[in-house]
Amino acid sequence: MAAVWPTFVRNWRVTLRAYPWTYFVGTLATGLLTVGVALLAYRAIGGGRVAASFTAATGGSDYLGYVTVGAAALTFTTRMVLWVAKAQITEYREGTLESQLLTPARRLPYLLGVTLQALTTTVVEVAVLLAAAVALGVRLSVPDPLALVAALAAATVAVLGMSVPLSAVMLAAGEAHITQNTLFTAMALLCGFTFPTGYLPDAARWLGEALPVTWALRVLRAATLPGASVDVPSALAVCLALGAAYLAVGLWILPPAERRALQRSGNA
Amino acid sequence: MRHALRVVAAEALKQHRRLFGQPLVVFSMLIWPVLTLAVTYYTVLPVTGAPAAGARWAVAGDPRRLLAFLAAGALAYTFFFSLVQSAWHFSFERVSGTLEAVFLSPASRLALVVGNGAGALVQNAWLFGCFAVAAASAADLLRVAHPGMYVVAFVALLVPAVAWGAFLNSLLIFSRDSAFLYTLLDDPLWFVAGVRLPLFALPVWVKAVGLAFPLTSSLVVLRGSLLDGARVAELAAPLAWLAALTVGLFAAAAGLLRWGEARAARTGSLQLF
Q: Which of A17-21, A175-179, B113-117, B143-147 has the highest mean pLDDT?
A: A175-179
Higher-pLDDT residue of A183 and A228 is A183
Pick the range with the lowest mean pLDDT from A42-51, A131-140, B1-10.
Answer: B1-10
Q: CA B156, CA B49: separation in Å to the nearest integer?
A: 32
Residue A268 has pLDDT above 60, yes or no: no
CB nearest A185 (choices: B36, B46, B180): B36
Q: In the prediction, which pLDDT does B135 show?
A: 73
Looking at the 3D structure of chain A, how many domains does it have?
1
What average pLDDT does the segment A206-234 reach? 91
The answer on pLDDT for A264 being more than 60 is yes
Give A100 or A73, the one with higher predicted confidence: A73
- Domain positions in chain B: 2-267
CB contact under 8 Å between A37 and B43, yes or no, is yes
A72 occurs within a structural domain: yes
Q: Which has the minimum average pLDDT: A18-27, A105-114, B191-200?
A: A18-27
A vs B, Cβ pairs < 8 A, gives: 125
Nearest chain A Cα distance for residue B61, angstroms: 11
Q: Using one digit for the tens of pLDDT, what is the confidence trace for A143-190?
A: 888 999 999 999 999 999 999 999 999 999 988 888 999 999 999 999
ipTM: 0.92
3-state helix/strand/coil string of chain A? CCCHHHHHHHHHHHHHHCCCHHHHHHHHHHHHHHHHHHHHHHHHCCCCCCCHHHHHHHCCCCHHHHHHHHHHHHHHHHHHHHHHCCHHHHHHHHCCHHHHHHCCCCHHHHHHHHHHHHHHHHHHHHHHHHHHHHHCCCCCCCCCHHHHHHHHHHHHHHHHHHHHHHHHHHHHHCCCHHHHHHHHHHHHHHCCCCCCHHHCCHHHHHHHHCCHHHHHHHHHHHHHCCCCCCCHHHHHHHHHHHHHHHHHHHHHHHHHHHHHHHHHHHHC
Residue A40 main-chain phi, psi, to 5 deg: -70, -40
User: Which residues from A are below 8 Å from B when comparing CB atoms?
Assistant: 21-22, 25-26, 29-30, 33-34, 36-38, 40-47, 49-54, 63, 67, 177-178, 181-182, 185-186, 188-189, 194-195, 199-200
29-68 in chain B: CB under 8 A from chain A: 31-32, 35-36, 38-40, 42-53, 56-57, 60
Query: Rounded to an integer, what distance in angstroms lies between the CA atom of residue B114 and that of residue B119?
Result: 8
> Average pLDDT in the B231-254 region?
95
A10 falls within a domain: no
The whole-number pLDDT of residue A267 equals 60
Domain presence at residue A60? yes
A30, A40, A75, best to mutate vs chain B, most B CBs in 10 Å: A40
Mutate to test the interface with A, among B39, B180, B199 (most CBs of A within 10 A): B39
Query: Is the pLDDT score of A126 beyond 70?
Result: yes
Supply the range of the domain harboring residue A195.
Answer: 18-267
B86-138: pLDDT as tens digits: 777 777 787 778 888 888 888 888 888 888 877 777 767 677 677 767 776 77
